[in-house]
Amino acid sequence: MQAALATRRSVLEAAADLASVEGLDSVTIGRLAEMLDMSKSGVIGQFGTKEALQLETVELVFAAFRARVWDPVKRLPPGLPRLLAACEAWVKYAADPGYPGGCLLTQVTYDYDARSGPVHERLVEGRQLWRDVLRTDLEIAVDSGDLPSGTDVRAAIYGLESLAAFVTPARLLHGDDRAVEQALACMRRILDVAPARS
């Protein structure tokens, strides 16, 4: 049982590494069997279908995001304190998510945003949960007076998501070693919060 779980985990981790560089469509039974020196039947036996493998890869990425971004901050006071801590954890995760091709959640979203099907639906569901978290803390921050009463919550969410999504291309495509610092500074501007002291 433990060996089967370890094999399943190694297949999913290889799938995530491959997808981060080449996209989720590159995750095939044959490619993974070759990468892991396994038989195709050994890989397919873990998941049943390519789509099931892709969905479990997405679940692995969501779990990593929760563990690195949400879990460390979820017990902080709701509103602006938790929102600022979440932004910092989010940007740090985007800069170093543990995948060779950068933030896989962003990569997979770009791959599947215009498609239909179970992978698209799961991405919509998972990303909407994160948007709801952001919306809750933004609304609490406005209600408590920590953010101006005229704050456009929807626009703020859009801006925060856009900044986090650009961290990977800023680093990998443009070689920007200040991507995290710049993204956090811009997030604080969106939230109308003074820059953090260095």
Q: Concatenated DSSP letters for 142-198?
A: HHTTSS-TT--HHHHHHHHHHHHHHHHHHHHTT--TTHHHHHHHHHHHHTT-PPPP-
Confidence (pLDDT) at 105: 87
The tokens for 43 are: 């890989």
**Tens-digit pLDDT profile for residues 122-155:** 999 999 999 999 999 999 999 999 999 989 999 9
Q: What's the pLDDT at 95?
A: 92
Q: What is the pLDDT of residues 39-83, one digit of tens each?
A: 888 877 778 888 898 999 999 999 999 999 999 999 999 999 999
pLDDT score of 11: 87
136-142 contact pairs (CB < 8 A, 24+): 136/78, 137/78, 137/79, 137/80, 137/82, 137/83, 137/86, 138/83, 140/78, 140/79, 140/80, 141/79, 141/80, 141/83, 141/191
CA distance 183 to 169: 12
Q: Which two tokens stand for residue 165?
A: 């999504």
Mean pLDDT within 161-179: 92
CA dist 178 and 173 (Å) reads 13
Predicted local confidence at residue 182, as pLDDT = 95
pLDDT tens for 96-128 read 998 888 888 888 888 899 999 999 999 999 999
Buried b (16+ CB within 10 A) or exposed e, 151-178: bebeebbebbbebbbbbbebbeeeebee
Structure confidence by residue, pLDDT tens digits, 19-39: 999 988 888 888 888 888 888
- Angle made by CA atoms 13, 22, 159, in degrees to the nearest 5: 90
Rounded to whole angstroms, the Cα distance separating 144 from 149 reads: 9
Nearest-angstrom CA–CA distance, 134 and 79:
9
Domains defined along the chain, listed by start: 54-190 (1.10.357.10)
